């Protein structure tokens, strides 16, 4: 099989020192969220300070991976050519059981079956040997 076909051409996250535990968690098939030790709220995306109280006492915890589809759209035209082969695909926001919302894709679901508020669970999509993206599928 040709290297050109198998190479992942879409934009990849570049984990930072702050976000590395999140991406490492996904690689291990686990959703990890920061939780503020001062105000006890969960935080996403990973930060060096809590956006609710400015505390820097953020601790990593394993999250349930469960949530609901907060909103979604079916992308029918790719703006980035790397996604052209995927259309139509579902670009979505999921509200996690723990509170924070995440931008994601709904997968393992025909786009026309997507519904706002449907229950979903995390699906870890290992797009390269280093990176797994956090996607969701119907519960």
Residues engaged in binding other proteins (CB under 8 A) = 10-19, 44-45, 47-54, 56, 70-80, 83, 86, 89, 91-93, 100-105, 111, 116-117, 133, 135
* Options 26, 31, 33, 36; binder of Zn ion; rule CB under 5 A: 36
Nearest to 137 by CA among 92, 101, 100: 92
Q: Give strand pairing partners of 41.
A: none
With CB under 5 A as the contact rule, the residue among 9, 20, 28, 52 that binds Zn ion is 52
Establish if 58 lies at the interface with Zn ion (CB under 5 A): no
How far apart, in whole angstroms, are the C-alpha atoms of residue 47 and residue 44? 8
Interface stretch with Zn ion, choices 42-50, 59-67, 75-83, 114-122 (CB under 5 A): 42-50
- Give residues 69-108 in contact with Zn ion (rule: CB under 5 A): none
Q: Which is nearer to Zn ion, 50 or 102 (CB)?
A: 50
Q: Which does 31 bind (CB under 5 to 8 A by kind): other proteins, Zn ion, none?
A: none
Minimum distance from residue 139 beta carbon to other proteins (Å): 18
What's the per-residue H, E or C state across 91-135?
Answer: EEEEEECCCCEEEEEECCCCHHHCCCCCEEEEEEEECCCCCEEEE
* Shortest distance, position 122 Cβ to other proteins, whole Å: 14
Instruction: In whole angstroms, give the CA distance from residue 118 to residue 68.
Output: 5
CA atoms of 78 and 111, how far apart (whole Å): 15
């Amino acid at each position: 099989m040709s290297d050109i076909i198998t190479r992942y051409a879409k934009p990849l996250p570049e984990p930072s020192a702050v976000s590395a535990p999140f991406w490492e968690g996904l690689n291990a098939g686990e959703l990890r969220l920061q939780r503020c030790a001062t105000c006890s709220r969960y935080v996403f995306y990973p930060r060096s300070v809590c956006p609710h109280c400015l505390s820097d006492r953020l601790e990593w915890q394993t999250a349930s991976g469960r949530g609901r589809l907060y909103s979604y759209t079916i992308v029918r035209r790719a703006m980035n050519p790397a996604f052209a082969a995927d259309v139509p695909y579902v670009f979505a926001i999921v509200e996690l059981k723990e509170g924070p919302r995440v931008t994601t894709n709904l997968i393992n679901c025909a786009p026309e079956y997507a519904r706002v508020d449907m229950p979903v669970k995390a699906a870890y999509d290992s797009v390269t040997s280093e990176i797994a993206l956090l996607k969701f599928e119907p519960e």
